[in-house]
Amino acid sequence: MRRAALGLTIGWGLVFLGVSVASGAGMMRMVVADLPYDRVFAAAMRSVEGYPIERVADGVIVTGWLWRAPRPDEPGFERVEERVTLRVEPFGERITRVTVEVDARGWRGDTFRPIGDTRGTAREVLARLREAQG
């Protein structure tokens, strides 16, 4: 499966955004926020509300698979399922990095096929995380 990387840095009042895409093991989406770890972790949990939660331990949140309708940029699929992994890592008193990985596959005919571009879901998760940070 392909995974996309989307980076967003929030710190010292500045916001920087970068995007990269890789396949296989994949790159990750990263958010660095000028907020304490506990607050960012709580926001990360709220950013995946609606997903079934499979595991939460040691700063890692793994959701279960969630079915959804395909987006316009996912033509030819009858339905899509995706899951999100967030890693929340402290780097100092008020610096926390959140890495978001999205695995997605679409149902076409009688089989699942990997969806290579998961940036749309990553952007949605990061937007919800920013909103949840308040």
Interval 65-75: pLDDT, tens: 999 999 998 99
Identify whether 109 is part of a domain: no
Identify whether 110 is part of a domain: no
Identify whether 43 is part of a domain: yes
The band of 46, judged by pLDDT with boundaries at 50, 70 and 90, is very high
Q: State the CATH number of the domain containing residue 129.
A: 3.30.310
* Other beta carbons less than 10 A from residue 131's beta carbon: 11
The band of 93, judged by pLDDT with boundaries at 50, 70 and 90, is confident
Report the pLDDT value the prediction gives residue 3, as an integer from 0 to 100: 44
Q: Please give the tally of structural domains in the chain.
A: 1
Identify whether 81 is part of a domain: no
Identify whether 8 is part of a domain: yes
Identify whether 70 is part of a domain: no
Distance CA 133, CA 130 (A): 5
User: What residues make up the domain containing 96?
Assistant: 3-64+86-103+118-133
Identify whether 72 is part of a domain: no
Distance CA 123, CA 67 (A): 18
Query: pTM of the prediction?
Result: 0.77
